[in-house]
Amino acid sequence: MWLDNVGSATWLAKMLMEMRWAILISEEPVFITTDNPVITVHPSLEFKGIKNPETSLMFPISPTRLLHIDNRMTEPDGQYYPLKTNPGAMNGLLWRYAINAMYSSRHPDYVCDEICADADAQGFTSTGAEGGTRQVKEL
């Protein structure tokens, strides 16, 4: 039964192999994972299909490595890119698609602070449920 299902997924494997693969590398263990680790991302935050030119797939393969698959054929394939920014944007997306659990080698407060810092940098408000400003504690 399992082999039948694997055999019927060859269309998906072929589609993924036609995409550009890259690894994002962090010197420090910053990437989270969840109970739903492989996510598809589109700028509209709606699923537009894997072949859509703006669709990306993200899969954290370790706390320091994140597999990024996309359709940017103008960029080189099979590259390793150092993480040059706050990991909050990627971790925020990964956590958003979690079903029940997020796993991290770091305290969740650090992860949340990075996600909030990225949201602040993107121009989103940082108010709490009571309408006050978010308080960040030093750990």
Supply the pLDDT for residue 126. 57
By the 8 A CB rule, do 81 and 65 touch? no
Instruction: Note whether residue 136 is domain-resident.
Output: no
Instruction: Note whether residue 54 is domain-resident.
Output: yes
90-112 residue pLDDT tens: 999 999 999 999 999 999 999 99
Supply the pLDDT for residue 12. 87
User: Number of folded domains in the chain?
Assistant: 1
Alpha-carbon distance of 82 to 75, in angstroms, equals 15
Alpha-carbon distance of 34 to 65, in angstroms, equals 14
Instruction: Note whether residue 66 is domain-resident.
Output: yes
29-52 residue pLDDT tens: 999 999 999 999 999 988 999 999
Structure confidence at residue 124 as a pLDDT band (50, 70, 90) = confident
123: left (phi over 0), alpha (psi -120 to 50) or beta: left
65-77 residue pLDDT tens: 999 999 999 999 9
Instruction: Note whether residue 72 is domain-resident.
Output: yes
Instruction: Note whether residue 139 is domain-resident.
Output: no
Instruction: Note whether residue 100 is domain-resident.
Output: yes
Instruction: Note whether residue 110 is domain-resident.
Output: yes
Range of the domain at 97: 17-121
**Entry pTM:** 0.81
Instruction: Note whether residue 45 is domain-resident.
Output: yes
